[in-house]
Structure formats: C-alpha cells, structure tokens
Amino acid sequence: MELRWIFSFFLLASSLYGHVSGKECTNIPTQLSSHTVRAQLMSTTNQTWKAQMLSYYHLNPTDESAWMDLRPRNLRNKEAPMEEFDWLMLYRSMKGFGGVNMRQQGRNFLDEVSLHDVRLDPDSMYGRAKQTNLEYLLLLDVDRLVWNFRHQAGLPAPGEPYGGWEGPNVELRGHFVGHYMSASAQMWASSHNQTLYEKMSSVVDALCDCQKKVGTGYLSAFPSEFFDRFEAIKSVWAPYYTIHKIMAGLLDQYILASNVKALQMVVGMADYFGNRVKNVILKYSIERHWTSLNEETGGMNDVLYRLYRITNDPKHVVLAHLFDKPCFLGLLAVQADSLSGFHSNTHIPVVIGAQMRYEITGDPLYKEIGAFFMDIVNSSHSYATGGTSVSEFWSDPKRLADTLSTENEESCTTYNMLKVSRNLFRWTKEMAYADYYERTLMNGVLSIQRGREPGVMIYMLPQGPGQSKARSYHGWGTKFDSFWCCYGTGIESFSKLGDSIYFEEKGTTPSLYIIQYISSSFNWRSAGVVLSQKTKSVYSFDPYLQISIRILTNQSTSQSSTVNLRMPSWTSLDGANVTLNDQNLPLPSPGNFLCVARNWTSNDNLTLALPLKLRTEPIKDDRPEYGSLQAVLFGPYLLAGLTSGEWDIKTGNSSSISDWITAVPASYNGQLVSLVQEANGKILVFSNSNGSITMEEWPAEGTNSAVHATFRVIFQDSNRPHSLATKKMKTKTATAQNDAILEPFDLPGMVVAHQGPSNGLAVSTAATADSMFSVVQGLDGRQDTVSLESSSQRGCFVSGGVDYSYSAGAKVRLICSSNSDVAFRRAVSFTPVSGLKQYNPISFVAKGAKQNFVLEPLLSLRDETYTVYFNVGA
Ligand SMILES: [Zn+2]
C-alpha cells in the first residue's frame, strides 16, 4: 500500500470532516467506517497508524433519548430473567403493530412487475450492459466463490479462493457471494439462462452443506468470533453487513427462483442471529445492542422485514426492528438534515429497511422518514448524475463545489438510493422520483462498467474537472481480484435493469405505469397483453426521444386497461407528439402521466416523440462564488466534456444555450481519421501530445491516447468527398482541391500547423497557411497511404519518421527533401484508418474560454479524462 495514497486520502477526508465533534450515531472518527480505509488497515504494515486508528473505535455511545419510544417497551426492564424474553410479546408491544390494517395500507401501492415478465432488447444500451454483466456472472466459478465458506465450515474446499475483498484473510469475505446470489437470481429471472441457473443453484447447495455442517444455523465465510467482537464493541469489519448480503441473496433465490431450500437457510440464519441479539440484550442491555449498531450492519432490517413478509413470524419483524438504527432514523424523523459526516452507504440501507417497515406496518412515520431523506439527498447532497457521497461520506448540505474530486459517488450508494426512490415512487406515483430514477440509472449506473468488458467496474465515479474513471483511488477493478462492495452492488444493478420500467396497479381495471423508455417487452398478465417498447437511438442533431409501444394480444375481447405514459420533466410540449394508431392524443404538461384507457387489441400502436432539450444545472452549492459551476444535460443524459482539467466556458452574455453548444453533425464521423506508420514490428500513430505532434504507440481503446490520436480532416473544398479512402486520393500533385486542415478530436476549432522546414508540428489556435496541407497519394507508391504536403511550403512533407528508426514519442516534423530516397518516401507516407475515437451519437461542441470542448454522455466514457461541471462565465 502506498502511504502517499493513504495520506492524500486522509488529507481529503480530514479537510472535509476535520471538525473535532463527530457524529454520536456512528463510529468516531468517521474515516473508520470507510470500506476503503478498512481495507487499508487490514493490509498495512504501519502498526502505529493502525493502532491509532483503531483506538478511536466506538468511543461514543448512542444517544438514546431522541428515540425512546421506538424501543420495545418491555425490554426496558433490564432485570427480566432470560426465559421471559418473548418475541411475541415484544411484537405486540411494538409501535405500529396490531392497530394497523396492513392490507388496507398496502392497497394503493404500485406493484413491482416480475423480472420474469420483462425482457430488454439485446441491441439497446441497457440490453448490452445487462449482457456484459451476464458474461461476468458466467465467468465466476462456483468452487472459488464458496471456497471461504467451505474452509470455514471444515469441508473440503477444491480450487483456489478469489482475491480482493473476497480473499481468505479479508474480514468482509463472503459479502460478494451474497450479492452473487441476488444478482444471479435477478439475472436468471431476466434471461432464463440455464447455465446461470445451474451455477447459482450449486452455490446455494454448497452453502447449504456448510450451514448443515456447522449445525447452528450460522452461515458465513468467516468465524462467528467476528460477532463476539461486534457484540463486545471491539474492532471488526462489518460482519452483519456481510450477513445481510447472504440472507438477501438466499431470499432472492427463493423469491425469484423458487429455491425453497434457500428460504429454509435464511430462516436458520435468522434464528441464529436472533439468539445472538437476544443474548446481548439479556446479558448486557438494550443499550449495548444499540451501541453495537454503530458498526455498519447493512440492510439487516430490510432483509428481516422482507423475510417477515414471507414467514409472518413475529420474531423476524422484532429482529428487523432491532436493526432500525434509532439514532439515525430519529434525526430523519425530526426532519433534520444532519447527514454531514455520516458514512453514506452504512445509512442508506437503514432507510430502505425503514421503508420496508412502512410497507409492513403502515406506520406513516416511516414513510415520512424515507421521503424526507430522499428530499435532502436529492436537494442538497447529490451530483448531476444523481449520485451522492465523497470519500464514502456525506459532506455539508449544498456545499458540493469543493468536494469535486476523484472520490465522489460511491457506486453502492447509487444502487441504494435507487431503491429508496423506487419505493417512494411506488407509494406516491410522484414524477420527481421517476425522474430521479431515470437520471441516476442512466448516468450513475450505466457509467460504472468499462464498455463491454465483463467484470471491469468502478468504485467511485469522479466528478472533479479533468478526472477519469480510471484514476480514482481504486480505478477500474479486475475480474477476479477486486470484489469491492461496489462489485457486489454492481452485479445486482446490471441484473435488474428491467425492474423499474413498468409498474402495475392492480384493481378492477388493470393499470400500467411506464416510467422509463427502454427498449423492452413486457408480458402484462393482468391485462392479457404483451407490450413491445422500442426506443430509437438518440442523436444530438435530431433532438427527440422517439418511442413506439406496440400491443400484442391473442385474446379477442381483452378487458379495458389503462396505460400511463410518463411525460418526463425534462421534455417540453413544444414539438412533443403522442399518437395512438396515428391519432394525436392531447398531452398533459411534462411531469405528469398521459393516461390511455382502452380495450387494447392486437397491433394497437402508441408512438411518442419527446423533445430533448439542452440545459444547464447548477451544482448543489448555495455559495455565490460557486454559482458558475454548471453541469450540462441533454434530456436525461448528463454530458461530460473531454478535457484534462480546463473547464471554463465562455457564453458571451448569450441568453440561449444553443449559442454556445452545438450538435456535432452526422457527417463529422466520416472525417475522423488516425494516421498510422508501421515499421520493424511497431505500429505508431500520429498524435497530439500536449500541443506538439508526435508518433505514439497504438493506444488501447477508450483512452486519452486514442482521443489524442484522432483528427478530423476538413477539406477546404466543401464539395470534395471528405473520406480519406485511398481511391479518392488518386492525385499525386498538391492542388487547392486537396487542401485540408487537421483538427484534434478533443480541441474543436484548433488545427495542426507546421513551424517551418525541419521543425516539429504543433497544435495552433487558429488556421493559417501553415496549417493547410494537401492530401496526396502516399509518396511510397502504395495505394493505401497518403502524404501531407505543406500548402505554404510546397515540396515539404509531414514526416512521421518511419525508416529513420524513430520510436514512440518521436516528433513529427516537416521535412523538405530533393533527393526523395526510399526512406524519405516511407517516412512521409501514412496509412489512414478510421478514427481511433469516434463521436458518440450524442455529441456536442461547447465554446470554451481557452479551448472548445467535445461533450458526450458520461456513461459512454471509459478512461478518457473529463469534466462534468463547467465554470460557465460570460
Ligand atoms: Zn461500495
């Protein structure tokens, strides 16, 4: 572990949270609850630092008084003998139970639809992301996944354990296996891939053997001694966090794949951990139990409420209640934005659990808690992606400008916030939650895979200027040696992409809410129809989201049912159009649902054309000096500008955003070229290296180097075909018709210019005679090469230097030669290939103060450096 990194990490963390007083409701200092810091502590050789960090562990007791009435009342008698601990009595005494008609309460909720009934279009952006994730799930090996569990249970463990946070000495081991069971159940429901079914069933079987062997109900990849430490308020890395993942995984295997054995296993775990919690309360006190909750417990309350919904066993709901961290939920109940300093991903799952408490008990307090929490995160703590947190923590509300860095927006928090907003949408049908869901899924989730590479994901999504997904503290992970928390939530996120497109309202008239426009099909069983939704690819130069929804039914007399179409808040009525079988429908204003009730018949067709507008959105920071920091969005797409740190935009007092941002036309893609030379087994590419032109090694896809090796060749004769295809290059003589300029891909408006014979070439801010080159047939005589002859210095050619033994990094020069030997002719001949970087279909150019920016959706970037927030000045 590089200490430099650790120190810079703490510098960042302490600059944000350096104040002396900390949260009473969490570990102090808060850095200890960071997973990143825990992983460092596990592997550090700096014992002094480790001892110092751990000495702070759980110094502060939980503030009980704020939340007294949430406790089971009969637990207050600390003298009660052990045998009187009665789960059923506790259950009856708890707030919210007994008096509420739960069925009545739940009746108005929208129902989630089964993932078994939704299929994503494999050719869509979402379908490809799902497929990439499926490939990763299939790459993972059952024996390796369960190795630590078998080893722990004393069973033979063939194969090798995985690395990263699943390594056999890492205290968090086993957490990913829980996520794997959830993700594979969701993915199986979404795909019915039989190989995956067999794999996930084998994982459950193997874990079942482990649980049986241990014999107490305990099931974990680490020893139960971790819970002794947890209960003794001693240092241990979030053992209940991992138990939550395993229980949730097993429950998902039961719910989505009907694995009854998995349900029995969760019940066995609930019994075991119920006994542990009971013993802590009886042996010590309820206070001791609450204090222990200062260590992260994930969504223990959530999974236990979900279990209760299936078992109706009062023990499960009481145990769930005992994981409703009262000191945190209490702050939300009194509507205080006290999030700053809390570890985000420890606490969002506690809120999700509280939401389940509302669903089960109907206690409106827990509905309010969820709504207030969502409101403050959304209004004061989230980036334009919808994501939240910096270095895993919340910072001061509406003070995000100085949090912009590499360590923003832990992916797990994005995954969990989506659950919070989804629940709120189901309860309220409020558009703000659907808008949030779309924004965050599209920009926060789709951004975390590295293209189509299975098993390459990120932990943090950097928001600072000139940052890159590849360059945060963790950077991109690897297939088998990362397994960070965010890998676990990542594989779930991409397995359930289809779970929030459609929501159902059951009743006498079946009703469907379509809240996301994602190409997919849905088998709407209660209405007896299948919907096929097709969303056209979006192009920046044709700013409409175009959707068609076709109804298929075999029934001759299907009943009347209602389809509610979301009119997103980001669209406008100006140019919007929705038709049913080619008849225009009257439209509600954006932010509402368009309700279409009908006896649907086969081939009924709805079409939507929703205008996509460019807009800016200020950073969530109420200090006037940061008022100029703005993100740029195109409909739901968050745009990122390709830049290594420059972020100044010049609007020139313009009132319209279209004056300083323009769409990249379709024709530009055909103008993109990379110029290649090959010699002695080396392939070198003509590249912009910080303003001077050099020959560089063939870059990896999705890197800055690929961007810097791509140029737009703009012929001055606009009638001339722009393609550099060699058949267009017949001419060997330089003519005005062949004159072109070369614009670096990421510096629109700038050009490559020579600086006189024998000198290097450089990037220049303005086109002059020295930036004009005639593109002629390659002097080496080959059909597939071109040469660039200077228009201001005829007879002088751009030389990449091949055959002069140049290597990577060599300067590209303007060479004038009269003897024209073979080496010279080869040195000035380049093979044009299509640009190593291509324009995303959604691409724009924004006018900058010092440079212009190419903008494209953040979700499509890989290692390229970018900025999300621009400093927009007049
Ligand atoms: Zn994480």
Is-contact 689 708, C-beta < 8 A? yes
Question: How far apart are the CA of 458 and the centre of ligand 1, in A?
Answer: 9
Question: How far apart are the CA of 415 and the centre of ligand 1, in A?
Answer: 9
**Distance between CA 134 and CA 196 in Å, rounded?**
8
| Residues 371, 424 within the same domain | yes
282 in a structural domain? yes
Question: How far apart are the CA of 485 and the centre of ligand 1, in A?
Answer: 4
Instruction: Give the residue from 240, 211, 210 showing the smallest Cα distance to 226.
Output: 240
Question: How far apart are the CA of 411 and the centre of ligand 1, in A?
Answer: 6
Question: How far apart are the CA of 47 and the centre of ligand 1, in A?
Answer: 26
4 in a structural domain? no
Question: How far apart are the CA of 153 and the centre of ligand 1, in A?
Answer: 27
Last residue of a domain, one of 445, 473, 499: 499
Question: How far apart are the CA of 36 and the centre of ligand 1, in A?
Answer: 9
**Distance between CA 570 and CA 635 in Å, rounded?**
5
**Distance between CA 612 and CA 623 in Å, rounded?**
30
Give every strand in the sheet of 592-599, ordered side by side. Answer: 111-112, 502-505, 511-514, 560-567, 592-599
| Residues 655, 590 within the same domain | no
Is-contact 304 320, C-beta < 8 A? yes
| Residues 185, 304 within the same domain | yes
Burial grade of 601 (CB within 10 A; 0-12, 13-18, 19 or more): middle
Last residue of a domain, one of 568, 594, 611: 611
| Residues 744, 821 within the same domain | yes
Last residue of a domain, one of 596, 611, 626: 611
Are β-strands 648-650 and 502-505 bridged in parallel, bridged antiparallel, or unpaired?
Answer: unpaired
**Helix, strand, coil percentages for the chain (3-state, nearest 5):** 40, 20, 40
> Taking CA 653 as the corner, what is the angle to CA 652 and CA 656, rounded to the nearest 5 degrees?
100
**Distance between CA 183 and CA 300 in Å, rounded?**
18
Extract the tokens encoding 202.
């084998």
37 in a structural domain? no
| Residues 74, 199 within the same domain | yes
Question: How far apart are the CA of 471 and the centre of ligand 1, in A?
Answer: 16
pLDDT along the chain (874 residues), means of 10: 37 38 46 74 78 50 34 47 62 60 62 97 97 98 98 98 98 98 98 98 98 98 98 95 98 98 98 95 87 94 97 93 89 86 95 96 92 97 98 96 97 98 97 98 98 98 98 97 98 98 92 98 94 97 97 78 97 97 98 96 96 97 96 98 96 88 94 91 94 96 98 86 59 79 98 96 95 94 94 94 76 86 91 96 96 98 98 88
Is-contact 677 800, C-beta < 8 A? yes
Is-contact 354 329, C-beta < 8 A? yes
Instruction: Give the residue from 538, 540, 751, 838 showing the smallest Cα distance to 662.
Output: 540
Question: How far apart are the CA of 114 and the centre of ligand 1, in A?
Answer: 26
Question: How far apart are the CA of 496 and the centre of ligand 1, in A?
Answer: 18
Question: How far apart are the CA of 641 and the centre of ligand 1, in A?
Answer: 26
Question: How far apart are the CA of 487 and the centre of ligand 1, in A?
Answer: 7
Q: What residue numbers bound the domain in which 568 lies?
A: 501-535+544-611
Is-contact 833 673, C-beta < 8 A? yes
> Which amino acid, 562?
T
| Residues 561, 466 within the same domain | no
Burial 147-171 (b: 16+ CB within 10 A, else e): bbbbbbbeeebeeebbebbbbbebb
Question: How far apart are the CA of 344 and the centre of ligand 1, in A?
Answer: 10
101 in a structural domain? no
Question: How far apart are the CA of 179 and the centre of ligand 1, in A?
Answer: 12
| Residues 321, 453 within the same domain | yes
Q: What is the CATH number of the domain that holds 602?
A: 2.60.40
Question: How far apart are the CA of 445 and the centre of ligand 1, in A?
Answer: 12
Question: How far apart are the CA of 358 and the centre of ligand 1, in A?
Answer: 26
Question: How far apart are the CA of 15 and the centre of ligand 1, in A?
Answer: 22
Is the peptide bond prior to 29 cis by the omega test (within 30 degrees of 0)?
yes
Question: How far apart are the CA of 460 and the centre of ligand 1, in A?
Answer: 8
DSSP state of 445: I
Question: How far apart are the CA of 244 and the centre of ligand 1, in A?
Answer: 15
21 in a structural domain? no
Question: How far apart are the CA of 302 and the centre of ligand 1, in A?
Answer: 18
Instruction: Give the residue from 183, 185, 182, 162 showing the smallest Cα distance to 172.
Output: 162
Question: How far apart are the CA of 425 and the centre of ligand 1, in A?
Answer: 24
Q: What was the pLDDT predicted at 64?
A: 37
| Residues 659, 761 within the same domain | no
| Residues 160, 232 within the same domain | yes
Q: What is the CATH number of the domain that holds 706?
A: 2.80.10.50
Long-range contacts of 66-72 (CB under 8 A, 24+ apart): 66/326, 66/327, 66/330, 66/331, 66/334, 67/326, 67/327, 67/329, 67/330, 67/333, 69/95, 70/95, 70/321, 70/324, 70/326, 70/329, 70/330, 71/286, 71/326, 72/286, 72/318, 72/321, 72/322
Question: How far apart are the CA of 861 and the centre of ligand 1, in A?
Answer: 20
User: How far is the first Cα of the chain from the last one, in angstroms, to the nearest whole number?
Assistant: 45
> Which amino acid, 792?
S
| Residues 422, 490 within the same domain | yes
Question: How far apart are the CA of 35 and the centre of ligand 1, in A?
Answer: 8
13 in a structural domain? no
Question: How far apart are the CA of 172 and the centre of ligand 1, in A?
Answer: 12
Q: What was the pLDDT predicted at 652?
A: 82
If one counts every other C-beta atom within 10 angstroms of the C-beta of residue 623, the result is: 10
- Total count of domains within the chain: 4
DSSP output for 852-872: -EEEEEGGG-SS--EESEEEE
> Which amino acid, 237?
W
Instruction: Give the residue from 215, 209, 271 showing the smallest Cα distance to 243.
Output: 271
Q: What was the pLDDT predicted at 7?
A: 36
Q: What was the pLDDT predicted at 139?
A: 98
| Residues 861, 776 within the same domain | no
Question: How far apart are the CA of 199 and the centre of ligand 1, in A?
Answer: 25
| Residues 84, 151 within the same domain | yes
**Distance between CA 360 and CA 316 in Å, rounded?**
12
Question: How far apart are the CA of 491 and the centre of ligand 1, in A?
Answer: 12
Question: How far apart are the CA of 514 and the centre of ligand 1, in A?
Answer: 30
Question: How far apart are the CA of 39 and the centre of ligand 1, in A?
Answer: 12
Strand, helix or coil for residue 343: strand
Question: How far apart are the CA of 386 and the centre of ligand 1, in A?
Answer: 16
Extract the tokens encoding 779.
């002097």
**Distance between CA 116 and CA 317 in Å, rounded?**
28
DSSP state of 167: S
**Distance between CA 327 and CA 128 in Å, rounded?**
42
15 in a structural domain? no
60 in a structural domain? no
Q: What was the pLDDT predicted at 817?
A: 80
